[in-house]
Amino acid sequence: MRFKPFSRKQRLALEWWALPETSSYDAVICDGAVRSGKTLCMSLGFVLWAAASFDGTSFAVCGKTITSLRRNVITPLLQTLRSLGFSCEEKTSRNYADISLDGVGCNRFYFFGGKDEGSAALIQGMTLGGVLLDEVALMPRSFVEQAIARCSLPGSRLWFNCNPEHPGHWFYREWICRRQEKNALYLHFTMKDNPSLTENIRRRYERLYSGAFYERFVLGKWTQTGGLVYPMFKKSLHVGEPPSACSEYRISCDYGTVNPSSFGLWGRCGEVWYRLREYYYDARREGLSRTDEEHYRELCALAGDLPVKTVIIDPSAASMIACIERHGRFRVIRADNRVLVGIQRTGEALSAGKIRISPACTDILREFTLYCWDEGACSDAPKKEHDHAMDDMRYFVMAELAQNGADCFFAASTRRVSAVKRKEG
Ligand SMILES: Nc1ncnc2c1ncn2[C@@H]1O[C@H](COP(=O)(O)OP(=O)(O)OP(=O)(O)O)[C@@H](O)[C@H]1O
Ligand SMILES: [Mg+2]
């Protein structure tokens, strides 16, 4: 791997333990923007510090899950260490690696996924010289506290990094706000601290996020969600007459019996999905609830004679799912109902111009102007109102467009390359 000269923040994250002005800290916390170069320097610094300070000692390297840890941290780290002359013997099946330099002094690094089931039990009982927690704000507090409690050896230190979350998050309150009491060095990163990001890429990230997610992922601030959930939605950009024919179709459903049911018909035109028509039935407003069969008839009417094969539906709508499956016309996809990830992906899809709404879809257009965050909540949560078309759209995005912004970009580029190749062929 070719490195650009490290930025000042990156050098600090690498070497703080060896510098006279920072070596007395017991911990380091790097937070801030996405892709700002935190993990690379921290993981390298962690192994260098361990090699300089200990021999025959165990350490823990923890990520959100073992899979994400291997992909984002371990694989690039071991590659880099080998190129620097370290010997790294990885025991993949047992989740550890023995790392030594010049054949003298060897430490063992155990790998953990903080969110993986049983991970707190696995780390329990170990004695560690240090722990690196990558993406610490995404791990359960119980796991993080267990990992910290394992660091009982003299000279042990704690290494944390994360992207910001809600300011009520326990890690922010316990560690970032109380960093002096904890004797922790705090390094705040922005994208400018990563010398490998070009101006163009930085601008692309800036375009991808808005609202609280912009503040968090681009500016790196611990910001409360507030106001509209989709502030990037603009009539001038996102509302438009759909084309007369689309290449493929889907229907997404948020099903309610007392609450409204909202179904959206989506059609794909190139890289853009249009919401063509919708069905929105509010039993309270109408004073009359509808049976599953009646909703099913409306679903069929929404599809009309278009070749709609797939219906994406709220996984908790068991009776409606059974009803759709009984009729056998549509294939059912049970939606991924993770609210915050879904909101983030939907926001990215809107910002990237991948979703447009026909002016005929008046209920979703109304909800865009009313769907807002619950500012009284102590963690990120949208208010549970004006959220029915919002939910069916989110299910649709999670099923069809649920890669993160960067992945969407690369997927689009790959499709373009294949199209060019087909033409050439
Ligand atoms: N000095 C550098 N030279 C070359 N590449 C770098 C350098 N610093 C960082 N990178 C690369 O930039 C990308 C982002 O770095 P890294 O994963 O460390 O950022 P991060 O702040 O941890 O991001 P996230 O918050 O998204 O986890 C990685 O591919 C990394 O290898
Ligand atoms: Mg990282």
Q: Is 170 left (phi over 0), alpha (psi -120 to 50) or beta?
A: alpha
Task: Answer whether residue 409 shows pLDDT above 70.
Answer: no
β-pair partners for 252: 264, 312
Tokens coding 425 = 């062929």
Determine how β-strand 355-357 pairs with β-strand 27-32.
unpaired
pLDDT confidence band for 410 (50 / 70 / 90): very low
Please write the tens of the pLDDT for every residue from 235-271: 999 999 999 999 999 999 999 999 999 999 999 999 9
Other Cβ atoms less than 10 A from the Cβ of 199: the count is 9
Q: Which residues line ligand 1 (CB under 6 A)?
A: 3-4, 6, 34-40, 163, 189, 194-196
Distance 138 CA to ligand 1 centre (A): 18
- What DSSP line would sit under 255-274, residue for residue? --SSSPEEEEEEEEETTEEE
- For residue 360, the SS3 value is coil
Place of tokens 């995404």: 138
Q: Which ligand is nearest to the CA of 190?
A: 1
The distance of Cα 284 from the centroid of its chain, to the nearest Å, equals 36
Asked if residue 355 has pLDDT above 60, the reply is: yes
What the block records as the tokens of 177 is 């706000």
Rounded to whole angstroms, the Cα distance separating 413 from 226 reads: 34
* pLDDT tops 70 at residue 291: yes
The CA-based angle 27-31-37, given to 5 degrees, is: 105
Q: How far apart are CA 235 and CA 232, in angstroms?
A: 10
Distance 109 CA to ligand 2 centre (A): 18
* Cα 74 to ligand 1 centre (Å): 13
3-state SS class at 375: coil
Q: Which atom of ligand 1 is nearest to the CA of 42?
A: 18
For the CA of 80, the nearest ligand: 1
- Angle at CA of residue 89, ends 87 and 94, nearest 5°: 155
Q: Quick one: average pLDDT of 319-342?
A: 97
Question: Residue 60 in contact with residue 129, Cβ under 8 Å?
Answer: no
Which residues are close to ligand 2, an ion, with C-beta < 5 A? Answer: 39
Q: Which domains does the chain have, with CATH numbers?
A: 8-197 (3.40.50.300), 235-413 (3.30.420.280)
Q: List pLDDT tens digits, range 95-146.
A: 999 999 887 779 999 999 999 888 888 999 999 999 999 999 999 999 999 9
Q: Comparing C-alpha atoms, which of 250, 209, 285 is closest to residue 401?
A: 250
Under the phi-then-psi rule, with left for phi > 0, alpha for psi from -120 to 50, and beta for the rest, what region is 368?
A: alpha
Across all residues in the chain, what is the average pLDDT? 93
Q: Residue 119's pLDDT is what?
A: 87
**Which pLDDT score is estimated for 314?**
95
Pocket test for ligand 1, best of 10, 194, 219, 344 (most atoms within 8 A of CB): 194
pLDDT in tens, 2-12: 899 999 999 99
pLDDT band at residue 420, thresholds of 50, 70 and 90?
Answer: low
